Amino acid sequence: MRALVLCYHSTNVNGRDYACNDHLALRADLAAIEARGLRILPAADAVREPDAAEPRVALTCDDGCTLDALDFEHPAHGHQDSFLRILREHHAAGGQCVQMASFVIASAQARDELDRKDFLGLRIWHDDWWPAAIASGHLSIESHSYDHNHPSLERSVQRDNRRGDFHVIDNEADAQAEIAQASAAIAVRCGVRPRLFAYPWGQHNRYLAEHWLPAHGPALGLLGAFITGAPQPARFDRWRIPRLVCGEDWRSPAEFEALLDRYLRSGDGHV
Ligand SMILES: [Zn+2]
C-alpha cells in the first residue's frame, strides 16, 4: 500500500479558522490521523519503501518560509504557532514523533527579493532556522528548486529568463541551474544534501521526470520528486510522486477525515 503524502504551506494564513489557516489545519489533521491509528513516516521513507502492508501518511510543506519553524506574529491574524511547534507539542502530548519534509527555495538572493516584493519585507524567508530545524528531528530541509522560477523575480536562473512556469525547465542547462545548484546550495547551508525534490507548483515534464532526474538525481543524493494531485493506483514512479494539498484537495476537518477514510478503504493507497 502506497503512503498518503500531504502538503501544507506555512504562508497560508488568511484568517483564524481551518479553511484559511494551514497551521490550524495541521494541528487538527494530526489528531485525525492519530485517531485512526495511522503511522506517520518521514517522506524519504515513503520513497524508500513505496509499498508496505500497512497504511502510512507522510507530511510535507512547501516554499520554506520561517513560519515552518518559528512562531510568527501576523500583522492581521495574530500569533501563529510554527509547524515545528505544532509537531513538538503533538509529540509531547503523547502523539507520534513526526518528521515533516520542508521544501525550501535554495537561493538566499531569490528569497530576499521575494520577501521584499511579495511579503512586505517581513523577513520571513531567511534561512537562519534551517540547521536548528534539522537538529530538532521534526523537520528535514529538502529542495524546492533554486529560485522556484518565480514570476516576481527580476531575473530567474532559467536561461532565457522565462519565469512563472516550471514546465519550461526542460533542458540540461536549466535543470542544472534549478535542481543541481539547489542541492549544492542547501548542502552548504545545512551540512547535508536534500534527499527529496518538489517541483514548484507541482509542474513537471517528461524531460525532468523521465530523463534528467533518473540520470542525475541519485548522484545529487535525491531519492525522489513530488508532484501534486491525487494518488492513482498506478506503477510507483519515484520522480513523480503525488501529494494532496491542504486548501486545495481538502478544506475542512470533515473533508480531511473523508479523505483518510477513502485512503484506508482503498487497499492500495489511491484516494
Ligand atoms: Zn512552491
In the structure, ligand 1 is a single-atom ion and the residues with CB under 5 Å from it are: 62-63, 200
> Taking the model in full, what pTM does it have?
0.97
- Domain limits at 33? 4-266
State residue 163's pLDDT score.
97
Question: Rounded to the nearest whole angstrom, what is the distance from the C-alpha of residue 156 to the centroid of ligand 1?
Answer: 15
Residue 271 within any structural domain of the chain: no
Quick check: 231 pLDDT over 90?
no
Separation of CA 63 and ligand 1 centre (Å): 5
**Residue 210 domain-assigned (yes or no):** yes
Q: Is residue 161 part of a domain?
A: yes
> Does residue 31 belong to any structural domain of this protein?
yes
Q: At which residue does the C-alpha cell 520577501 appear?
A: 115
Q: Single out the residue of 196, 201, 211 nearest to residue 165, CA to CA.
A: 201
Compute, in angstroms, the gap from residue 53 CA to the centroid of ligand 1: 32
- For 79-95, b where at least 16 C-beta lie within 10 A, e where not — what string? ebbbbbbbbbebeeeee
164-197 residue pLDDT tens: 999 999 999 999 999 999 999 999 999 999 999 9
Q: How many domains does the chain have?
A: 1
Cβ neighbourhood burial of 240 (10 Å; 0-12, 13-18, 19+)? buried
Cα 265 to ligand 1 centroid, rounded to whole Å: 31
User: What pLDDT, in 10s, does the model give residues 122-170?
Assistant: 999 999 999 999 999 999 999 999 999 999 999 999 999 999 999 999 9
C-alpha cell at 180: 543541481
75, part of any domain: yes
Res. 270: pLDDT tops 90 = no
State yes or no: pLDDT of 233 exceeds 80: no
230 — pLDDT class (breaks 50, 70, 90): confident
- pLDDT confidence band for 99 (50 / 70 / 90): very high
CATH number at residue 217: 3.20.20.370
- For 72-94, write each residue's pLDDT tens digit: 999 999 999 999 999 999 999 99
In a domain, 129, yes or no: yes
CB 153 within 8 A of CB 93: no
**What is the structure's pLDDT at 10?**
98
Residue 234 has pLDDT above 90, yes or no: no
- Give tens-digit pLDDT for 49-80: 999 999 999 999 999 999 999 999 999 999 99
Query: Binning pLDDT at 50, 70 and 90, where does residue 239 land?
Result: very high
> Do residues 102 and 64 touch, judged by C-beta distance below 8 A?
yes
